[in-house]
Structure 1
Amino acid sequence: MGKMGKLKFGAAGFLVGTLFFSGIAWGATNKIEVSFDPVRFIVDKVDKTPSGGKFNNNGSSVPSSLIYSGTTYVPIKLVGDMIGKPVAWDGKTKSVLFGDSVVEGDYLTDKAPVDVADKSIVNSEMQLDNQTYNNGLYVNIYYRNKTKQSYNLNGQYKSLNFNYASLDKADDGSSASIIIYGDGKEIWSSTAVQGVPIQSASVPVNGILKLEIEFINISGYSYPSIVNPLLSK
């Protein structure tokens, strides 16, 4: 059956996490035999197969698929990323939520910017951690340059949730700062480094009228990016 392994805890947890959505329970001490034979993922004739058979699940590297008893199991979040839809789990109703069902709000990058950053690309295909995203913003900056993009929020939102990282095509080890300002005051900052897994952030924006995102190059040709920036009311 190809690459086989008897797994007691690690893969069992991955399998249970996947099967849970179908209401199937699995004993924590049961051994199962699974195959990690590579599986390709083709979406609308585009190959979106994760590199090395691994998927970055919110900072944790997990198998992008496994085969057990003739059935292929795939992380729900991977499916959402491949089709460009956010995914969430509603424990109260035991439902997997895709797209607009996940949370009420608006994508920041669907709004018209007040100020446009130099060399900014919005809602275009982005490769991060060998995964493709289509909703977000990135810039290309170098030689310690900096640039800023801003949006009017008009005090309508409570929080901004997003992922951030450097695009895969950036120079090895290149880095850039990402700083968010609310009405001129810094409210969040971090660093996007090429080769570092994608990270998540949640920034309170309650009452903020104008939001600014500043990108500052630290080293190399950097491509700092913000992915799926969702404003919640």
Structure 2
Amino acid sequence: MLNKDKTKGFLAGVISATLIAGTVAVFASPVETAINVVYDNYRIIIDGADKSNAPDDSKPFVYNGRTFVPLRYIAESMGKKVLWDGDTSTIYINDEGNSREDVYFATQGYESADKGIYLDGEEKTVYLGYNSDYGTKFEENNKNHYQNMIAFNLNRLAKSVSGTVDMKDAKNDSLEGKIVFYDQNDNVLYQTPMLRKSTTPIPFEFQTSGVLQLKVAFVATNLYETYNLKIRDFRYSK
């Protein structure tokens, strides 16, 4: 049972703290409100470790039947760094302690795309050939090649692009190819090693400062054969 003698007046601008591994944006103007909160000897256990020895300004409290814990103390106890940007009223929580903000390609529009390309916003995944046998044919070094391409406008907003290439669901054992990332002038920004059905997932990240448009192409010698190739967590950082 809570000790009512430990009920104190508490002056707070923002009383709700949410623990996340991304970004919390606050858009409303700050409001100061006097509220009654309850302090007690609450324990904090994080991944099995006792983190109850919080400083006085980081103690948990109960307000209106809900328990609140200071965001910075909890985040830092979990190995994260916290950055407050007063200009945008934004809290950033990540490993680097910077103002990185990620945008997922699957949740935004694209400039152009070939048939068979599918964007899954819920899974944050881009499929370069979703249960399809489409491909644009071209010749290179006296050999026929095929490619599927999608283009996204970055407008110089992206510092870097990252994701994970996954072919584990490919339906054709003989499929071989690579993913090539171009800028608006067809300069190669990054390309994967040769991909096959047996290829393990490949994480990647490359710099894109100043890039206006990102073109993503899967280039293969047999793209007319059905395949499934996806880029998971495909995103850019601002």
Q: What is the TM-score with the length of structure 2 in the denominator?
A: 0.50
Aligned-residue offset at 1:181: 0.5
- Work out whether 1:136 is the aligned partner of 2:133: no
Report the CA distance shift for 1:94/1:117 in structure 2 as closer, same or farther (over 3 A): farther
Paired residues of 1:192 and 1:224 also in contact (CA < 8 A):
no
- Work out whether 1:118 is the aligned partner of 2:115: yes
Residue 229 (structure 2) aligned to one of 210, 216, 224:
224
Aligned-residue offset at 1:167: 4.4
Aligned residue runs from structure 1 range 1-233, under 5 A: 21-23=47-49, 93-95=76-78, 104-123=101-120, 134-140=123-129, 141=133, 144-184=145-185, 185-190=187-192, 191-219=194-222, 220-233=225-238
Paired residues of 1:168 and 1:195 also in contact (CA < 8 A):
no
Q: Secondary structure at the match of 2:203?
A: strand
Q: For the residues of structure 2 that align with 1:189 and 1:179, how far apart are their CA atoms?
A: 4
For residue 126 of structure 2, what is the amino acid of its counterpart? L
Aligned-residue offset at 1:170: 2.0
Paired residues of 1:161 and 1:203 also in contact (CA < 8 A):
yes
Paired residues of 1:177 and 1:218 also in contact (CA < 8 A):
no
Q: For the residues of structure 2 that align with 1:175 and 1:96, how far apart are their CA atoms?
A: 40
> Once structures 1 and 2 are overlaid, which stretch shifts more, 206-215 or 173-182?
173-182
Aligned-residue offset at 1:162: 0.4
Paired residues of 2:106 and 2:121 also in contact (CA < 8 A):
no
Identity %: 15
Report the CA distance shift for 1:107/1:217 in structure 2 as closer, same or farther (over 3 A): same
Q: What is the TM-score with the length of structure 1 in the denominator?
A: 0.51
Report the CA distance shift for 1:206/1:22 in structure 2 as closer, same or farther (over 3 A): farther
Q: For the residues of structure 2 that align with 1:117 and 1:174, how far apart are their CA atoms?
A: 19
For residue 198 of structure 2, what is the amino acid of its counterpart? G
What's the RMSD between the two structures over aligned residues?
Answer: 3.1
For residue 107 of structure 2, what is the amino acid of its counterpart? D
For residue 156 of structure 2, what is the amino acid of its counterpart? G
Aligned-residue offset at 1:163: 0.2
For residue 234 of structure 2, what is the amino acid of its counterpart? P
Paired residues of 1:167 and 1:225 also in contact (CA < 8 A):
no
Gaps of 5+ in 1: 1-19, 25-91, 126-133
Deviations 1:51-81 (A, max 9, x none): xxxxxxxxxxxxxxxxxxxxxxxxxxxxxxx
For residue 148 of structure 1, what is the amino acid of its counterpart? M
> Once structures 1 and 2 are overlaid, which stretch shifts more, 145-154 or 214-223?
214-223
For residue 150 of structure 1, what is the amino acid of its counterpart? A
Report the CA distance shift for 1:204/1:145 in structure 2 as closer, same or farther (over 3 A): same
Aligned-residue offset at 1:200: 0.2
Aligned-residue offset at 1:101: 5.4
Aligned-residue offset at 1:120: 0.6
